Amino acid sequence: MNIRDLSYIVAVARLGHFGKAAESCHVSQPALSSQIKKLELELGVPIFERDKRSVRITETGQKIVALAEKALAVTEDIRVTARAAQDPFSGKFRLGFIPTIAPYLVPHFVTKSREKLAKLDIHYHEDITDRLNAALMTGEVDAAILATPPEETGLDAIRLYDEPFWVIFPSRHALKLMDNIRTKDLPVDELLLLTEGHCFRDQALDVCRLDEAPRGQTIRATSLETLVNMVASDLGITLVPALSLEGGWLAARSIQSEKLKDPQAYRRIYLTFRKSDPRKELLQKLADIICEDLPASVRRL
């Protein structure tokens, strides 16, 4: 058993597919499958149940994978500690983002980060919240900008800013005639949402006080841009975070936007990292750079 073997089983458990796991680990599928088989023989228990269509993790396998994740995180912490002792502001740094933050926030700080952290080689990773939290715990990313507070006990976070929600609606919609729009004014049966797995979907439901998506919803979108295009086609209304309105990409569409007036209609953005990461000074510096040139549409914390 070695660290590579542990990374293989964690990848299969996370992705649910041997081929995708092999690709993420940069090895061939036969090599990955063979190594996992050897590990199962060494341990004397099956970690995965396999058939031609799917991969399922066994009950014992779930416990083994959880321990493997902890071992990988400790291994990464050893590497990070060694690098930090040399120069915490240099080397490779993997920063994760969720899709409803990445395209709108990165342009505000990427140039400044290159100037002020010139020796830091930042790699950007976009993914949904659950997978980024898992990647943080295994050391696959060093920090992530998320819209939910840390849920894992091994994670900590720096609060960055609060971001109000805006409603987007067709230019001829009845909402056009209203001032001071609140969530109670929204026709929730017309509300278009991101697919499950995106935290912004859950936040939109929460702010509208809905337990589930409107019945009869036929649109399954994975990006805010798709939702906005659906609104422009008069298929409904949607909510977007304030930073997504920057840059003028909505201007050419037949839509209007209004900030929701409810006090609770916002999301809080965090820079999340492992508690064991010794580079606290670097993380605070990065948080300061991220918030330095934020527009007035959000509230820095």
Q: Which residue has the higher pLDDT, 86 or 144?
A: 144
Do residue 284 and residue 244 come from a single domain? no
Residues 166 and 151 in one domain: no
Mean pLDDT over 170-175 rounds to 93
pLDDT for res 217: 67
pLDDT tens-digit map of 97-106: 999 999 999 9
Q: Give the pLDDT of residue 210.
A: 87
Model pLDDT, residue 120: 93
The answer as to whether 206 is a domain residue is yes
| Domains contained in the chain, number | 3
In terms of domains, do 271 and 243 share one? no
174-224 pLDDT per residue, tens: 999 998 999 999 999 999 999 988 999 999 999 998 887 776 666 778 999
- Can you give the pLDDT at residue 175? 95
> In the prediction, which pLDDT does 252 show?
64
Indicate whether 245 and 212 sit together in one domain. Answer: yes
Span 49-88, pLDDT tens digits: 988 778 999 999 999 999 999 999 889 888 888 887 788 8
User: Do 217 and 280 reside in the same domain of the chain?
Assistant: no
Most confident of 118-122, 187-191, 283-287: 283-287
> What's the confidence (pLDDT) of residue 214?
75
Torsion of CA 273, 275, 276, 281, to 10 degrees: 70
| pLDDT value at residue 59 | 94
Query: In this predicted structure, which of 38-47, 119-128, 191-200, 210-219 has the lowest mean pLDDT?
Result: 210-219
Structure tokens that stand for 288 in this block: 């300061």
Q: Which domain, by its residues, includes 136?
A: 87-161+267-300
Decide if 77 is inside a domain. no
Q: Are residues 166 and 248 in the same domain?
A: yes
Q: Is the pTM of this model over 0.85?
A: no
Q: So what's the pLDDT on residue 272?
A: 98
